[in-house]
Structure 1
């Protein structure tokens, strides 16, 4: 039995090699791995003794040789293959233990240069892995140190690695090399500052955790993270308390965080089932929390709360009076953390870089049956040059502030979406209806029910898309709305403008819609 060992990650490799030697294996090795094995007293043969050719080009060429690859690819059941090996004086290789140059670790270093990254692209390693994996019936190929024990156990038990295990190891090889090549391709795309959509799309992610179930108990689920430095992302949050985040927890919390990132002032976002249910900005975080909570005390039950300032003890005490699934903040007062963690099931997360937004060229993806639809994220709110007052009535300064606040909120409401706001507080949100008048009326009803009969008077209405008719303006006037912000762009825009002028309502067009399906 011959085993070729050449690893970047040397975790457990010495012990593994010693076990192989104890089972009668000859160890062939290269470079740093060979030096490590010899240092630990493991008998090994250097690769150049097998190839009859020295390592060269600073180690770039070591294993790219017929003496290696013929030994890997020769099918033991093929008499012609075995005859050729004998003629060429090449011995078969039965086990390959290889993991690749640390390309990922290299590109994640601060200040890494392109030259450093390229130098850490492994060539010989993937080639050996692919050769060995192609001939999996005859060669056991190990890329993951966690598989060492399985291989040794089978060798001790039966003198060989089972075909099923070899097939499993083969699968891991091609997943490993696919992930490696995808990281390289993604790095090079970013180096070229290429933001286009490629003709073929390959992406790679690393599993963070498996989940108990998906959106519903009968669905399986797992959580994966992108490879790279992604500050401000939920994958980097530190969890202090509660069960593992569920599929729905992650989806809802991510949506709440993306809305929170629209704000720089102290702000709190409450979220339920993917829609904001209470949002407020104030001069301090406690007042923001109190206002966000009072905006919809009903829907926040069992919901998500995210804050962009440190959570205080007083906030934590009030949060503990209701049932919350998740709380996220950049930090917590010591007493606040102790208070929140006193409740067994609440998931308490700390996210240091909570304010950092995604790269505007990041992808937003939706899986459809048989394919994938992909777009860049909705990273803008509006262009200043397109922000226009279209009515005779001009909005006041406070109305303008509420208009901008309202557009930030409604951008994250499922379409058709309406948000009613007053004094930088959401007071009524109407999400996800099949026409625009229903969420408008729903938002008014919720505001009156939850806050009071005069809640809407003097408020601002924000819409994620244009008004096809003037019925929205009519309903807004009857409810007491005094200012409206919407994208504009409908064939019948003038009807809504005229109706606003009739009622003295100020209206702004942003020129940018925010459908969220």
Structure 2
């Protein structure tokens, strides 16, 4: 079809979100368009002094069933769907007294907001829009002749087009694409709500949707395109955070910041997690955030350079000074006090994100990973063990302080790429081995890094001396356990479940260390 401008002679406006409605109505009226509307939209337009015809007057059919049926009539859908380039369509429209509708402006009942408010099922169901999606899809299908607007952000472009004589075909096609995305996301949200009510978190058809927040400069590498999409979740984190300062966040920044903030939310008391390339390189809990920072940095000061720092409490001035002393890409915290903000403002490129709250590690939800031809979905790893869940399998039981460190280490292991081995001492990591094909290699790498960290700290013994160790999955052979013992660990926490568990237990007893089984593993691939 020739990309010529089409004027708007008749517009149907029916919106839940009234932002920009009056300005749009005035612009349409100023360019000679008749305004059709319903309910609150019609009331708002009239109160602004605009002449509006009720849809029921236009159709000759009253609203019925408490407003459930008001636009689902031939006079509306015929006016939207009729093709102006087909004489038979025009003839039928004239025969049935159906006037063309050139613009439909609709946004839908606030289903998501109603669910988020905690409303009951009846209110949620009443906020499932039926007529709105039908009109949107009809107008989008007939985009050659009809404009469809579904978001107030589109109004400015439409008004500019009116001043040029009308919309062009490529503009209407773009509005149509946005319209189908809008109704697709809306229906997907409703489908997920029904599935959740039925207790089916993995239904036969799973529809995902997101609203693009930012186009990113590139993805993991400069030759890759990337964007950040928000899925409407209210879970505190990167999607809800307010960026106080710093340059734009990159794909890797966002990925690493999410990993860091989810990890720090697991910990109790003032805690710090430092992440590099999506893996923690230092984790600690202490009496203050400043002390936790010092302990976390001690684990791997080399990797911490250019890292992501997550805090689970309000960032204070003393901690801000410490963090600002090294190059840091991102700091994420629930809040920051005025003195901390002033200190960090001197670091113009440092990104500071404030989330207002911490995510609930035990909350339900799904996580996703793309694969060729589809994606994998699973429930979030909300597993957490307590001392009551542990089984002591060695002759020696852990001491009270060792038990605290063992539980801490296992929580950290949950957020380290598999195979993962973590050494902890006094509530802080002192060695982290991540992402190796062999568990023995993870244990040895963590120990080697602890030796390097000890040299930086001016200490003679590796930091792992007298530590406890956690393994995210069982030791398949005794060699992994023996590597941990060689590093200086005096107690071990691991899931257990290997056919060679007894061999590993015997090795632990021979070394005189304590070992507990969790019965739960934390693979993170």
Same fold, TM-score > 0.5, yes or no: yes
Deviates more, 1:401-410 or 1:11-20: 11-20
Q: Deviations over 1:153-187 (max 9, x none)?
A: 33442x44221112111111111111222222233
What does 1:259-270 correspond to in 2, within 5 Å?
259-270=263-274
Shift of 1:39: 2.5
Q: Deviations over 1:187-219 (max 9, x none)?
A: 3334x2624310000122233322222212222
Equivalent in the alignment of 2:23: 15
Report whether the alignment pairs 1:87 with 2:95: yes
What does 1:108-123 correspond to in 2, within 5 Å?
108-109=116-117, 111-123=118-130
Equivalent in the alignment of 1:306: 310
Question: What is the rounded CA distance, in whole Å, between the counterparts of 1:337 and 1:242 in structure 2?
Answer: 12
Q: Deviations over 1:111-150 (max 9, x none)?
A: 4232222222222111111112222212112222232333
Equivalent in the alignment of 2:357: 353
* Match for residue 99 of structure 1 among 86, 107, 126: 107
Q: Deviations over 1:377-423 (max 9, x none)?
A: 11113376652111112222221111111111112111111111111
Equivalent in the alignment of 2:82: 74
* Match for residue 140 of structure 2 among 125, 133, 143: 133
Equivalent in the alignment of 2:4: none
Runs (5+) with no aligned partner, structure 2: 1-8
Secondary structure class of the residue paired with 1:129: helix
Contact 2:362–2:383, Cα closer than 8 Å, also in 1: no
After superposition, the Cα gap between the structure-2 partners of 1:98 and 1:456, relative to the gap in structure 1 and judged at 3 Å, is closer
After superposition, the Cα gap between the structure-2 partners of 1:465 and 1:98, relative to the gap in structure 1 and judged at 3 Å, is same
What does 1:289-438 correspond to in 2, within 5 Å?
289-354=293-358, 356-358=359-361, 360-382=363-385, 386-438=389-441
Equivalent in the alignment of 2:156: 149
Equivalent in the alignment of 2:226: 221
After superposition, the Cα gap between the structure-2 partners of 1:343 and 1:115, relative to the gap in structure 1 and judged at 3 Å, is same
Question: What is the rounded CA distance, in whole Å, between the counterparts of 1:413 and 1:168 in structure 2?
Answer: 43
Question: What is the rounded CA distance, in whole Å, between the counterparts of 2:264 and 2:28 in structure 1?
Answer: 55
Secondary structure class of the residue paired with 1:173: helix
Contact 2:387–2:403, Cα closer than 8 Å, also in 1: no
Contact 1:240–1:341, Cα closer than 8 Å, also in 2: no
TM-score, normalisation: structure 1: 0.94
Please provide the CA RMSD for this pair. Answer: 1.9
Contact 1:75–1:81, Cα closer than 8 Å, also in 2: yes
Question: What is the rounded CA distance, in whole Å, between the counterparts of 1:282 and 1:375 in structure 2?
Answer: 33
Contact 1:108–1:228, Cα closer than 8 Å, also in 2: no
Shift of 1:15: 2.7
Equivalent in the alignment of 1:201: 206
Contact 2:234–2:240, Cα closer than 8 Å, also in 1: no
Report whether the alignment pairs 1:58 with 2:66: yes
Shift of 1:276: 0.8
Question: What is the rounded CA distance, in whole Å, between the counterparts of 1:6 and 1:478 in structure 2?
Answer: 72
Contact 1:341–1:348, Cα closer than 8 Å, also in 2: no
TM-score, normalisation: structure 2: 0.93
Q: Deviations over 1:272-320 (max 9, x none)?
A: 1111111112222221111111122111100111222233322222222
After superposition, the Cα gap between the structure-2 partners of 1:61 and 1:384, relative to the gap in structure 1 and judged at 3 Å, is same
Question: What is the rounded CA distance, in whole Å, between the counterparts of 1:292 and 1:480 in structure 2?
Answer: 19
Shift of 1:338: 0.9
Contact 2:385–2:407, Cα closer than 8 Å, also in 1: no
Secondary structure class of the residue paired with 2:492: strand
Equivalent in the alignment of 1:236: 240
Contact 1:360–1:376, Cα closer than 8 Å, also in 2: no
Deviates more, 1:39-48 or 1:425-434: 39-48
Secondary structure class of the residue paired with 1:235: coil
Shift of 1:264: 1.5
Secondary structure class of the residue paired with 1:421: strand
Runs (5+) with no aligned partner, structure 1: none
Deviates more, 1:114-123 or 1:265-274: 114-123
Contact 1:391–1:501, Cα closer than 8 Å, also in 2: yes
Shift of 1:252: 1.0
Secondary structure class of the residue paired with 1:236: coil
Question: What is the rounded CA distance, in whole Å, between the counterparts of 1:12 and 1:477 in structure 2?
Answer: 68
Shift of 1:446: 0.9
Equivalent in the alignment of 1:478: 486
Question: What is the rounded CA distance, in whole Å, between the counterparts of 2:23 and 2:465 in structure 1?
Answer: 75
After superposition, the Cα gap between the structure-2 partners of 1:331 and 1:35, relative to the gap in structure 1 and judged at 3 Å, is closer
Q: Deviations over 1:18-75 (max 9, x none)?
A: 3323333222222222222222232222212221112223322211111111111122
* Match for residue 183 of structure 1 among 183, 189, 194: 189
